[in-house]
Every structure is written in structure tokens, then in C-alpha cells.
Amino acid sequence: MGIKIYNTLSKKKEDFKPVNEDNITMYVCGPTVYSNPHIGNARSALVGDLWYRILKNKYKKVTYIRNITDVDDKIIDAAKKENRNVNEITEKYYKTYKSNMDSLTLLDPTHEPKVTDFIPRIIEIITKIISSGYTYTSEGNVMFDTVKYTKYGKLSKRIAKEMLDGVRIDVASYKKSPKDFILWKPSHKDQLGWDSPWGYGRPGWHIECTSMIKEIIGHDSTLDIHGGGNDLIFPHHENELAQGNCVSKNEYCNYWFHNGIVLVNKKKMSKSLGNVVLIEDLLKNTSPISIKYALLSSHYRQPLNWTSEVLNNSINIVTKYKNLISEMKNNEKEYIPDNELVSILEDDLNTPAALNYISTLVKNINNNKSNYSKFLFCIDFLGLNIVDDISNVISEIDNKIVEQLIKERNVARLKKNFNKADLIRKKLSSLNVEIKDDGNQTVWKFKPK
């Protein structure tokens, strides 16, 4: 048994063989910080996080890189719209992204490089690509020549002839061939930019990932794993692969994983459709654990249609686990490592099977006491921090009012004044508190979310 990963390159599930067992390297495409992060951003970050957890469990050192793209035309546009400078925009949305990811209890990557910190390295890499002979300049742009690079299409399996170019948008005039892409583009003097051998300008979209990877892992090193949303396969990752292979004789990356995108109303989220689900908004009414559970409930390569049903399903299960934990909370919290869970996850991140396994543990908790300790291990391994979530909830509540109302209600119940008792229960309910009469004790909790 070992780690198996579905490789977009081969379109097969493969045994994971690291380049160097002493240091596994993984890069996952992070966000462009120009707007509030949505549930789709969360999904790919979560998938990266899970791979990170699995790799860390097996290998002593894992270098996990998740970038922040803070140079982009969309950022420039956003700055104009909000009438702020570019830095303010990127800072603001980076902070939101970070805090959203923290809420979802994702581990910090080993590196979180920002493009603006890597401009000299980007210029260096472009220079290397130019000397490899796969570029040309046109209207001030440094272009990558996809026709010259004969392996182009290796990742996305797209053959140039079969593709209809410019179906939905005109091919830019500066391109020799429609699939060619920009490595460096000119900026106006008053625009965001840097001096370079090709004039004042800024990097194109794809080059920053390649540069940051090479800089962090070493220019002649092969990345073990590269991932992101499957909408990035073409052209972004295809382009990265092409330019990356021009920089070194060694292969750019061995394993590529791609998560399915999140759909809302069975369509990809987009501002024009108005179906973008922001993490911020979800967190207002839903516990981060439930959101996370919902994301885990489908396999990462499947598309995930985000619906209230999916979310409610998760809330119900998470609530059940919360109840279980709060009932057991006085018992010692022992975590018994469970290899079965680990091997389920090592098989190409089969989270639905993992969640199912956890539910069978819970179901058989009475027959086998170690199941509870295994259960604690499992939710912890997945980063479903239910235990912490419960303690947060308890500290948030205004104890006195609730306790007072419960006292009053129990007096009423003793007097068999059930109308009054039920009224008080309704009042508690309006305070988001649920109660449960357990023998002669009444216990309460926040309504599940």
C-alpha cells in the first residue's frame, strides 16, 4: 500500500513515487487576490491541504507551496473600480483569503509566495526561456511560441489542429499562432510595472507560477505534485508545463492533480450569472466544519453542485458528531491512529469513503470503545475540528439568561404548567438555544449550523 494519485498527464491513477523521499514538493495554484474568495477557491485549497496532510503523514519533510497572485489585469481593474491603489486591493483580499482559509482550518503552506516579491526571478526565467529559442517579441510583448514547442498539448491532450481557436473571442493581433501566450507585457508609465530588458512592464499570467516554483525548489529540480482547479488545465497549466520544460533539462513536474469545480445551480460560478457563493457569506450562518464536511462529501475530481441540500446534509451529520463529542467530553480524549482511514485517503483522496468509514465507526461505538478514540483521530486527521468548534460555541453563549429560563421552565414543569414550559422553550429557541430534558436534568446547546 502507498499513496495513489490520479495523474492528469497519464489520465490514470498512479503509485506516487517521489523524486526525493527526504523532501516532497507540491505546488497548488492559489488565488488572484482581486475579490472575496468563494467556495471554489476553498475547494482547491482544501484538496491541496488534504494532500499535504497525507504526504506529511508519510514523509518527514513536505514542501507545500500555495501562491498568491498579486499582479494581474483584474487587480488593476478592481483598484480602479474601488478607487484605491493596487497594494490596498491585494492586501485587503489577501487578508480575507487567509482568514477564510483559517476558518476552514487549513494548514499553513510551507511557502506562500507573492508574485511581486519575485519579479527579478521572473525576469531571470524569461531570459532563460528566450535563450532556449522558444520565444519571439511582438508589439512589445515577449511571446512563447507554442508551435515551436512540439510537445505543446501534452497535459490537456489538445492537438492544435483539432482546436477551434478564437471561438468566443478574437485572436490577439500580436500572436503568431492563436495559442501563443505572453511572458512579459508592456505597462503604461502610470500603470503597475517594473523595468526589464524588454522595457517597463509586467509578467504574463503563467510565468509567475513557474518562476516561484523554480526559485523555491531549485531550478533543476522536478516538482513532485502540481495541482489546481480543472479549469486551469488549459491553458494555464499547459503553458506552465511548456515554459517550465524550457528552463531545465529535467522534467517540470511528475504528477498533476486537478479538482472538479464547484457548481451553483449546476453552473460554474461567475459574476455575470450572479451565482458566486462567498465563503464569508456562508460563514455567517454555517459552521466552518459543516462547510468543510460538505466539500469533503464528494470526491475531489467530481464536480460538486453546491446546494442547500448538500449543506443541510452536512450540518445534520456534523451536529450528530457534535452531540456525540459533548456527551463524551468528560471522558479522556484519546486519539488512536487508524490506518484504515489513512489508507482510504491514500487511495487518491477518497474522502466520501473516508467519511463513510467514520460514520460506521460512530455507529459501532457502543460495541467497541476504541472506536471513539479512532473517531477522534479520524476527524482530526481530516482537519474537521469538531472538538474545538464545540468549545467555541459554549464560550459564546450568555449562560445566565439561558440557565435562568431553564430553571423557570423546570419549575413550571414540576407544577405541570406545560403551557408555560412550552412558551419558555419557544423563547429559548428564538435565542437559538435548543434544550433537551434528560431525566431530571435539562441540557442545552446552540442550534446546529
Residues 84-143 that bind RNA (CB under 7 A): none
Q: How far is the CB of 209 from RNA (least distance, A)?
A: 10
Identify which of residues 45 and 119 has a Cβ nearer to RNA in the complex: 45
Identify which of residues 248 and 280 has a Cβ nearer to RNA in the complex: 280
CA distance 204 to 239: 11
Site string for RNA, 296-335 (x = CB under 7 A): -xxx-xxxxx-x-xx-xx--xx--x--x------------
Identify which of residues 18 and 252 has a Cβ nearer to RNA in the complex: 252
Map the footprint of RNA across residues 359-378, applying CB under 7 A: 359-360, 363
Residue range at the interface with RNA (CB under 7 A); choices 244-252, 346-354, 382-390, 399-407: 346-354
Cell of 121: 526571478
Of 398, 384, 388, the closest CA to residue 326 belongs to 388
Q: How far is the CB of 236 from RNA (least distance, A)?
A: 5
Of residues 1, 11, 150, 441, which one binds RNA by CB under 7 A?
11
Length of the chain: 449
Task: Identify the three-state secondary structure at position 366.
Answer: coil
Map the footprint of RNA across residues 216-245, applying CB under 7 A: 228-236
Q: How far is the CB of 22 from RNA (least distance, A)?
A: 28
Q: How far is the CB of 202 from RNA (least distance, A)?
A: 14
Cell of 164: 477551434
Identify which of residues 128 and 154 has a Cβ nearer to RNA in the complex: 154
Cell of 207: 510565468
Q: How far is the CB of 218 from RNA (least distance, A)?
A: 24
Identify which of residues 19 and 328 has a Cβ nearer to RNA in the complex: 328
Q: How far is the CB of 72 from RNA (least distance, A)?
A: 7
Q: Which bin fits 348, alpha (ψ -120 to 50), beta or left (φ > 0)?
A: left
Identify which of residues 208 and 215 has a Cβ nearer to RNA in the complex: 208
Q: Which DSSP symbol is given to 278? A: B
Tell me whether the omega of the peptide bond preceding residue 235 falls within 30 degrees of 0, making it cis: yes
β-strand pairing of 181-186 with 201-203: antiparallel
Task: Identify the three-state secondary structure at position 41.
Answer: helix
Identify which of residues 69 and 103 has a Cβ nearer to RNA in the complex: 69
CA distance 371 to 398: 34
Residue range at the interface with RNA (CB under 7 A); choices 68-76, 114-122, 379-387, 397-405: 68-76
Identify which of residues 1 and 159 has a Cβ nearer to RNA in the complex: 159
Most distant CA atoms of the chain, gap in Å: 91
β-strand pairing of 253-259 with 262-264: unpaired
Of residues 25, 41, 141, 371, which one binds RNA by CB under 7 A?
41
Identify which of residues 229 and 244 has a Cβ nearer to RNA in the complex: 229
Map the footprint of RNA across residues 267-286, applying CB under 7 A: 267-270
When asked if residue 408 is in the footprint of RNA (CB under 7 A), the reply is no
Of residues 22, 162, 190, 398, which one binds RNA by CB under 7 A?
162
At 360, the amino acid letter reads T
Task: Identify the three-state secondary structure at position 394.
Answer: helix
Map the footprint of RNA across residues 165-194, applying CB under 7 A: 165-169, 171, 178, 181
Q: How far is the CB of 6 from RNA (least distance, A)?
A: 9
Identify which of residues 81 and 157 has a Cβ nearer to RNA in the complex: 157
Of residues 163, 283, 387, 393, which one binds RNA by CB under 7 A?
163
Please provide residue 433's backbone torsions phi and psi, each rounded to the nearest 5 degrees: -110, 135
β-strand pairing of 267-268 with 262-264: antiparallel
* 295, 43 contact by CB (below 8 A): yes
CB atoms within 10 A of CB 303: 13
CA distance 22 to 24: 7
* 351, 299 contact by CB (below 8 A): yes
Residue range at the interface with RNA (CB under 7 A); choices 103-111, 116-124, 153-161, 385-393: 153-161
Q: Which residues contact 53 (CB under 8 A, 6 or more apart)?
A: 107, 381, 382, 383
Q: How far is the CB of 60 from RNA (least distance, A)?
A: 28
